[in-house]
Amino acid sequence: MELNNELYTIVEFQHVKPGKGGAFVRTKLKNLKSGKVLQHTFNAGHKINVARVERRPYQFLYKDDMGYHFMHASTFEQMSIEEGLINAPEFLKEGQDVEIVYHADSETPLNCELPPFVELEITYTEPGVKGDTATNTLKAATLETGAVVNVPLFIDTGEVIKIDTRTKSYAERVK
């Protein structure tokens, strides 16, 4: 939606009908450009401008000093975007499929979303000791993309793990 000439997405909303007075809607809005979340209250009958956005499939190619380069999945058109538009750039590896959200009216990219989970190989972690599975202790592990995440003690170098890109944390071991 458009508010004060900025694009926002609704994170949370609550319709309130008090016993006295008119109904209203309390919202949490996230600015698509800056990422800031603000609270806003709309009175009943308030008109909003709904912005059209499109999700387009892209594939990550490579990163250089110009930014991150992507290729459209069906037209093979290439484009580059800056790191600030990507929700978890540290988990991008070559060939990764992503969705880039565009503002349909101005054809500008708003953000780049990785899938909810990605599978990455561990390139280095301290060796685990046999029997260290009873506690919830975590250790640092370096992934093939260079990112560092905390994993359980029983995970070893060379294993493939699933990472949650929304929380940027370990989810499970891939068999």
Q: How far from each other are the two terminal CA atoms of the chain, in whole angstroms?
A: 42
- The CATH number corresponding to 117-173 among 2.40.50.140, 3.10.450.50, 3.40.1280.10, 1.10.3720.10 equals 2.40.50.140
Q: What is the pLDDT of residue 133?
A: 61
Q: What is the pLDDT of residue 105?
A: 85
Q: Is the pLDDT of residue 153 over 90?
A: no
* pLDDT (average), residues 84-100: 90
CATH class of 53-113: mainly beta
Spell out where 17-173 has E strands: 24-31, 37-43, 53-64, 67-72, 78-81, 97-103, 108-113, 117-125, 138-143, 148-152, 160-164, 169-173
Instruction: Sort 109 into a burial class: Cβ within 10 Å, 0-12 / 13-18 / 19+.
Output: middle
Strand order through the sheet with 108-113: 78-81, 67-72, 53-64, 97-103, 108-113
Confidence of residue 15 (pLDDT cuts 50, 70, 90): very high
Domains 53-113 and 117-173 share a fold: yes
* pLDDT (average), residues 62-76: 91
Structure tokens at 10: 């609704």
Structure tokens at 27: 């919202």
**Alpha carbons 55 and 101: distance in angstroms, whole number:** 5
pLDDT, tens only, 94-131: 999 999 988 888 888 888 889 999 999 999 998 866 66
Query: Does the domain made of 2-43 have the CATH classification 2.60.120.10?
Result: no
Q: What is the pLDDT of residue 131?
A: 62
Q: What is the pLDDT of residue 175?
A: 83
* pLDDT (average), residues 7-13: 91
Residue ranges per structural domain of the chain: 2-43, 53-113, 117-173
